[in-house]
Amino acid sequence: MSTTRCPCLSGQTYDECCGRLHRGESTALTAELLMRSRFSAFAVGDADYLRRTWHPTTRPRDLTLDADLRWYRLDILAASLGGILDTEGTVEFRAYYRGPFGPGSQHEVSRFVRTGGEWVYLDGVGQPADRA
């Protein structure tokens, strides 16, 4: 069992947090948990999980992750609905990365829907960059 902390910064190890979702041992109970697991999938390079948890109507045909980006921090800024009894929800987040041209971040409001009893990512709207 790995003792590496989970990239989603839940405070748990990767194996006990997002790793079990990536391995298919369980599914995310809320939209926020799915968002966290998808961020972790970017961080560990698990494109298969990202495709599996993407709604079929918006999922890209091909998904190639940028190996030059290192995703290292996720801040959940807000969540609306997306609970265990909901069928849709949104999560606003900021994800931080480092790449060949330095650090950066992605700020997005993502929409999730429950399909076949499981949460999937539907789409997201990028938010304007913060002004200094």
Q: Output the pLDDT for position 105.
A: 95
pLDDT tens profile 62-106: 999 999 999 999 999 999 999 999 999 999 999 999 999 999 999
pLDDT on residue 78: 97
Torsion of CA 79, 84, 86, 91, to 10 degrees: 20
Q: Is residue 45 part of a domain?
A: yes
Q: Give the end-to-end CA distance of the chain in Å, rounded to a whole number.
A: 43
Query: Which residues constitute the domain of residue 101?
Result: 18-126
pTM value is 0.93
Count: domains in the chain: 1
CATH number, residue 60: 3.10.450.50
